[in-house]
Amino acid sequence: MRDSCLKTKRYSLSKRNSDRAGLREVAAAAGVSMMTVSRAIRGIEGVSDKKRAEILRVAKRLNYSPNLNARSLVAEASDLVGISLPTLYNDVFAGMLAGMRNTITNAGFATVLDTTNYDLDVELDWVQRVLSWRPAAMVLTGVHHHPELRDTLRQAEIPTLEIWDVTADPIDLCVGLDHRNAGLVAGNYARKLGYKRPAFVGAPRGIDLRAEKRVEGLRTAFDTHLPAERVDDPNSYAAGAEGVRRLLDRDPRPDVLFFLNDHLAFGGMMAAQAAGLDVPGDIGIVGFNALDLTTALPVALTTIQTPRRQIGVTGARNLLARIKGLSPDRTVQLPVELLQGATTRLQ
Amino acid sequence: MRDSCLKTKRYSLSKRNSDRAGLREVAAAAGVSMMTVSRAIRGIEGVSDKKRAEILRVAKRLNYSPNLNARSLVAEASDLVGISLPTLYNDVFAGMLAGMRNTITNAGFATVLDTTNYDLDVELDWVQRVLSWRPAAMVLTGVHHHPELRDTLRQAEIPTLEIWDVTADPIDLCVGLDHRNAGLVAGNYARKLGYKRPAFVGAPRGIDLRAEKRVEGLRTAFDTHLPAERVDDPNSYAAGAEGVRRLLDRDPRPDVLFFLNDHLAFGGMMAAQAAGLDVPGDIGIVGFNALDLTTALPVALTTIQTPRRQIGVTGARNLLARIKGLSPDRTVQLPVELLQGATTRLQ
DNA sequence: CTGTTAGCGCCTTCAG
DNA sequence: CTGAAGGCGCTAACAG
């Protein structure tokens, strides 16, 4: 063994662990420089068609796959899009996600997903974490976040989309609906039918902020006290039933029940019927979201149709525009529609 | 900020990204070397408590956030875990996902999610893409994949977990259930009750391979022809109804209906009732999965309870062990249980 | 305990 | 059209 200069060589050789082919290996095999390979792979100008074809062939043979970590390091940006949703136990968020995914994926981005379970601290932690990846963009649910979140994101200068709810002053972009108005629409509809004693079944106060806005709309429509039962799991059918059982004990008994969502409404309707009540004869039921489920029911549920897929599609499109440096509308508010079913009727 | 946000070219490398503090900045501010900062940040041995505290303070003040792309580049591995599911429009996969997520997240990994819509080509493309991130592990649904997938993953030497289905020879690890046996259990149960003319409602053949195994089990149990109606969207309630309407036209009319899942079973039950049939008087209904929905029904659905959350938890735990270099059981098969409801009865 | 050195794989820049 | 040089932010390995 001679001295340290040999040692250096050996070191650098053994350092390349794994037999994974990199730009270097492809370049060597194709008899060109790394740069030429890089250009060929990325489909960039400046390589003769002949060489490009040859290089791509070699790359394929060597099973070359670019190291995105290295690329992102140089670019100071990855092609990850972080998406934060409250839950996936719910076709609602799955619907918006599906709407976004195609658009985002087709544009060459990958999605990193997390669920916060409606916890704003969890959301903040997750955002900070994703920022370490230098993501191309972020998607958050709702417009209410941890106090630090807004500054964190703006400082990082990451295009950000807030979905489902809207505000005049989003972090960056938002696409969603006016939940207070949605509550108002449902409330006005029921009031006009002649219902007098509304009640609400939903999640504990302070969990689902959008739902609280809808409740506010309901209150405005009825201009009256609105008894509310809060159940633990807003995505459970059984919880809706439980809420209704508790409400039916009240005096006076409500004549129309509004639910946080269709899940609860369905469970609630079952409970009302099980309690011997006729729907809509004895009591009205109004859901929210117009899930596929409700169309399969023997008695169609009166509910509010929310444009979930459309929110996803529009949101993703605007976000991509933002990434490209354009300036799409900062706030897009999509309309809701009341679907008149057979669970409510003129009083 | 908004307008200037993205006009800054992401690919301008000449200058260090504006305000974002790196190891270098923290080191300068703290009056130590980058390595010392690196060690302090990562909580690694070899820094005096005093210096460490000071460094952490400085890092926090500078709002330092490590560049994970750079770290992954050096480490030849990221802390991303790729998860591929067929769909999220379905509490089934959401349940397994929830089971995995806590474990994976608590161990310090982030999840990159994709849905394949049961398309094996999509799955392969996605896996190859995620491999470019040098993920810490991969999770796939089922044990049937694109022919190239197995080699691709093994060659990459990435710990891989297959969930939901089992096989004696997984790519790496698998945790799931024996779907053929699940079909057998359901079939035997119904046969013993005296049902003679079974039928099945499910997805088009070749889409959901697990479901086909269950059908095979059903056939074995009955040892008879098993008429099957294939509907387009297996996660739709309405599709179940459609399938049943078509089956009821057949002669002889089936006396018991097996469904791909509870979604379809629910829709199917509604359709049967709407057609004037009594359940279980005129016709039996058997679902699969034991979704929360079915517990809220006035007539409890006979179904197969699948340990979805448990699959996720066990799978994630084994996968983490694998990442640490241990050798957990390659194949874990979890039991299913028949839940006897009121939609079937002795004939 | 702390600092120095030498890259990780890729891409920008600039020179042929 | 092609290649050589240098660096992105971070860390393993090796001195002091």
Using an 8 Å Cβ cutoff, are A210 and A142 in contact?
Answer: yes
Q: What is the pLDDT of residue A10?
A: 26
Q: Is A12 on the interface with B (CB under 8 A)?
A: no
Using an 8 Å Cβ cutoff, are A260 and A232 in contact?
Answer: no
Contacts of A95 in chain B (CB under 8 A): 89
Locate the chain A residue with the closest alpha carbon to B294. Answer: A237
- Residue A255 CA to its chain's centroid (Å): 34
Of B63, B66, B112, the CB nearest to A110: B112
Q: Is A89 on the interface with B (CB under 8 A)?
A: yes
Estimate the share of chain A in helix, then strand, then coil, as percent rounded to the nearest 5: 45, 15, 40
| Min distance A184 CA to chain B CA atoms (Å) | 29
CA of A88 to C1' of D11 (A): 38
Contacts of A297 in chain B (CB under 8 A): 270
Please work out, in degrees rounded to the nearest 5, the angle formed at the alpha carbon of residue B10 by the alpha carbons of B8 and B15: 80
3-state secondary structure chain B: CHHHHCCCCCCCCCCCCCCCCCHHHHHHHHCCCHHHHHHHHHCCCCCCHHHHHHHHHHHHHCCCCCCHHHHHHHHCCCCEEEEEECCCCCHHHHHHHHHHHHHHHHCCCEEEEEECCCCHHHHHHHHHHHHCCCCCEEEEECCCCCHHHHHHHHHHCCCEEEEEECCCCCCCEEEEECHHHHHHHHHHHHHHHCCCCEEEEECCCCCCHHHHHHHHHHHHHHCCCCCEEECCCCCCHHHHHHHHHHHHCCCCCCCEEEECCHHHHHHHHHHHHHCCCCCCCCCEEECCECCHHHHCCCCCCEEEECCHHHHHHHHHHHHHHHHCCCCCCCEEECCCEEECCCCCCCC
| Min distance A94 CA to chain B CA atoms (Å) | 6
Helix-helix angle A120-131:A149-156, to 10 degrees = 20
SS3 assignment, position A55: helix
How many whole angstroms separate alpha carbon A9 and alpha carbon B295? 68
How many CB atoms are closer than 10 A to CB B5? 17
DSSP tag of A76: T
Of B66, B68, B113, the CB nearest to A113: B113
Tell me if A237 and B132 make a contact (CB, 8 A cut-off). Answer: no
SS3 assignment, position A260: coil
Q: Cα separations (Å) of B135 from A67, A81, A136, A233, B141?
A: 11, 16, 19, 34, 17
Residues of chain B with pLDDT under 50: 1-17
Please work out, in degrees rounded to the nearest 5, the angle formed at the alpha carbon of residue B15 by the alpha carbons of B9 and B19: 85
**In chain A, residues 219-248 whose CB comes closer than 8 Å to chain B:** 236-238, 240-241
CA of B17 to C1' of D7 (A): 13
Q: What is the pLDDT of residue B17?
A: 46
How many CB atoms are closer than 10 A to CB B60? 10
> Cβ of B23 < 7 Å from strand C?
no
pTM of the model: 0.88
Q: What is the pLDDT of residue A17?
A: 46
How many whole angstroms separate alpha carbon A137 and alpha carbon A119? 21
Long-range contacts of B75-79, Cβ-Cβ distance < 8 Å, separation of 24 or more: B76/A17, B76/A18, B76/B134, B77/B134, B77/B135, B77/B136, B78/A69, B78/B133, B78/B134, B78/B135, B78/B136, B79/B108, B79/B109, B79/B110, B79/B136
Q: What is the pLDDT of residue A18?
A: 55
> Cβ of A6 < 7 Å from strand C?
no
Percent of chain B with pLDDT over 70: 95
Residue whose tokens read 């994949």 = B145
Q: Is B120 on the interface with A (CB under 8 A)?
A: no
Strand D neighbours (CB under 7 Å) are A 11, 32-33, 35-36, 39, 45-48, 51-52, 70, 73-74, 76; B 13, 16-17, 20, 22-24, 34-35, 38, 41-42, 66-67, 70-71, 73-75
CA of B28 to C1' of C4 (A): 16
Of A66, A78, A129, the CB nearest to B69: A78
Average pLDDT for consecutive 10-residue bins of chain A (347 residues)? 27 45 91 93 88 92 92 92 90 92 91 90 93 95 96 91 97 97 97 96 92 96 92 88 92 94 93 93 96 85 97 97 93 97 95
> Cβ of B34 < 7 Å from strand C?
yes
Q: Is A69 on the interface with B (CB under 8 A)?
A: yes
CA of A33 to C1' of D4 (A): 9
